[in-house]
Structure formats: C-alpha cells, structure tokens
Amino acid sequence: MNMTTANTARLLITCEDKPGIVQAVSSFLYHQGANITALDQYATEAQGGRYFMRVEFELDHLQSRRESLLQTFATNVAERYEMQWRLALVSDVKKVGILVSKVDHALLELLWRHARGGLPCEITKVVSNHPDLKEAVENFGIPFEVVPVNKENKREAYAKIDELMQGNDLLVLARYMQILDEEFVQKWEMKIINIHHSFLPAFVGANPYKQAHEKGVKLIGATAHYVTADLDQGPIIEQDVERVSHDFTVDQLRELGQDVERNVLARAVKWHLEDRIIVDGNKTVVFQ
C-alpha cells in the first residue's frame, strides 16, 4: 500500500436533490484539508428528484482522522440534507469469495485479472458444489472448498457456505448453477453479484444456446446484477450484447456468449470494489 492509497477515500451520497449540496460537501472537505480528485453526480430530475454523488479525495493522516471525519460530516452535512451516505477508505481492501459450479470461464477471468492486479481486492476462497475446478483454482494460490448441494441438504449446505464466507465483503456467483437459499440471500443483501446470459428473447432452462440457435437470434448478451430473493430480478449493474448471424453454430454462440459473460461480470465486480455503484431501489447508479 503506497501513501496515496493510504490517504484516499470515497464518499457516496444519496438524498433528495436540494440547492447547496455540492457546495456543502466540497466546502466540508476543503476545511478538513482534503484534495478532491474526482467528483461525479447525477439527479433524476431537474428539480426535486433524487440526487447521487461520488467523491474521491485525499487527506493526510486519513486513518487516524477517520472517526472524527465521520462524526463531523454526519453532524455538519449529512443530517442537514438527510443523506444516506458511506465513506470507504481505499486502504480497506475488500475481501471477496467466489461461488462456482463446473463451468470455468467467468471464474478464471476473475482469478486472472486479480493475479494481474486488475481487481483491487483479496480473493479469500472459492466454494463449489463440484470438485472439478480444484486444481485450476489452487494454481492461483487460492483455497478451494467443496460443498455439495441437493434438495435434501440445501439448508445445511448454505449454512456451511455462509460460515465459510464469513469476513468477506462481497460474494460473486461465477456461473454457480444453484438457486441460493432465501435466508442466505437475506444475510448477504446487496453483497452478491451474479452473471447470467440475456438473450432477446430470453431462454430459460437447459441448453439456452441451443434454444437460441433454433430460434435464430440476432443478439446474445449477458447481465450482471445484485442477487435478491426474486430470481434474476436484482438491480442490474452491467449488460452487454454481441450481434450474431444465421450461420453461427451452437458452439460459436456459446463461445461468444461466454466471452460476453466474463467481461460483463469482471466489470461489475471491479465497479463494486471501486465504490462506483449506488443502489436505488431496484436500480443502480454506476459512476464510471
């Protein structure tokens, strides 16, 4: 950790849009001696809508001043504007756990980017309901655990996974082909990111690429989203599509689709780690 990282923080704010918010926040940071390095904002309406802000700043001796900074901002700024807000220190490296089944493309993309320094986090472990990817994961120096899941042991299995994942800030479903237990999802509210294919029209069930081929789709894509109790209905973080034509085989559709999936998931995870996402109901504001 270099000195810049140690003294860098991000402030995320949501509130009713009112005059003076930008001035209040920037003035507060100025009087604290902070230097603003990035500021992004968004309002849902020209007047009277919801307001969202992400501010990144540097401040000497940030670690030792953290508590006083939080208390002072809460009293002098946040209460006045009835803000929902959080302060994240870049030096507090987020811990990430990954869930996967047998398909490896999304998992290996995350592990490779992490090994290359492209994902600012600590990947603590990978948990799977199958042993197939054990060697591939351990080659990256990351612990691998197998927790079988079936209809009879689902509650016990997710209690075990919850125990294994304690201490993590984020869980990533890298093509984990199980429906999560509702109680498990509630414990990790807005802390689980999933990836799934998103065809137009959408195809569910087995062999979606075969179904897409039979229907002659012209677009294939993927969606990364936060997980909620409603299957695949959580707030969307990122999406992408690729055009295809009538002469694509099922294997070519699958290969291209997996390429879209791995990139969409990696972007969504990176943006979460960089505190670029604010959840607003069933939508997200993503500052890029």
- State pLDDT tens for residues 49-82: 999 999 999 999 999 999 999 999 999 999 999 9
Check residue 200 and give its pLDDT.
Answer: 63
Q: What is the CATH number of the domain that holds 187?
A: 3.40.50.170
User: How many distinct structural domains can be found in the chain?
Assistant: 2
- Closest alpha carbon to 232 in 256, 250, 259, 208: 208
What is the rounded CA–CA span in Å between residue 259 and residue 160?
31
Q: Which residues pair with 174 in a beta bridge?
A: none
What is the rounded CA–CA span in Å between residue 197 and residue 184?
23
Q: Is the pLDDT of residue 201 over 70?
A: no
Find tokens 């479903």 and name the residue. Answer: 173
- Rounded to two decimals, the pTM is 0.95
Q: Is the pLDDT of residue 3 over 90?
A: no
Q: What is the CATH number of the domain that holds 48?
A: 3.30.70.260
* Together in a domain, 128 and 150: yes
Pick the range with the lowest mean pLDDT from 28-42, 85-99, 175-189, 196-210.
196-210
- Closest alpha carbon to 175 in 107, 241, 266, 114: 107
The last residue of a domain, from among 28, 59, 89: 89
Domain that holds residue 67: 5-89
* Together in a domain, 158 and 29: no
* Together in a domain, 131 and 188: yes
What is the rounded CA–CA span in Å between residue 261 and residue 196?
7
Helix (H) or strand (E) holding 37: strand 35-43
| Planar angle of CA 43, 44, 47, nearest 5 degrees | 75
Q: 8-16 and 50-58 as β-strands: parallel, antiparallel, unpaired?
A: antiparallel
The last residue of a domain, from among 26, 54, 89: 89
Residue 232 bears catalytic tag: yes
Q: 121-128 and 277-280 as β-strands: parallel, antiparallel, unpaired?
A: unpaired
What is the rounded CA–CA span in Å between residue 216 and residue 33?
60
Average pLDDT over residues 257-265: 96
* Together in a domain, 77 and 98: no
Q: Which residues pair with 88 in a beta bridge?
A: 10
The sign one gets for the Cα dihedral 211, 213, 218, 219 is positive
* Together in a domain, 217 and 148: yes
Q: Is the pLDDT of residue 30 over 70?
A: yes
* Together in a domain, 104 and 79: no
Task: Share the mean pLDDT of the chain.
Answer: 94
**Does residue 65 come out as left (phi exceeding 0), alpha (psi in the -120 to 50 range) or beta?**
alpha
What is the rounded CA–CA span in Å between residue 12 and residue 71?
16
Helix (H) or strand (E) holding 53: strand 50-58
Average pLDDT over residues 76-101: 97
* Together in a domain, 152 and 26: no
* Together in a domain, 81 and 130: no
* Together in a domain, 81 and 199: no
Check residue 198 and give its pLDDT.
Answer: 81
* Together in a domain, 235 and 147: yes
Check residue 230 and give its pLDDT.
Answer: 81
The H-assigned helical ranges of 139-189 are 154-165, 182-187
From the list 40, 169, 232, 280, the catalytic residue is 232
| Planar angle of CA 151, 156, 158, nearest 5 degrees | 90
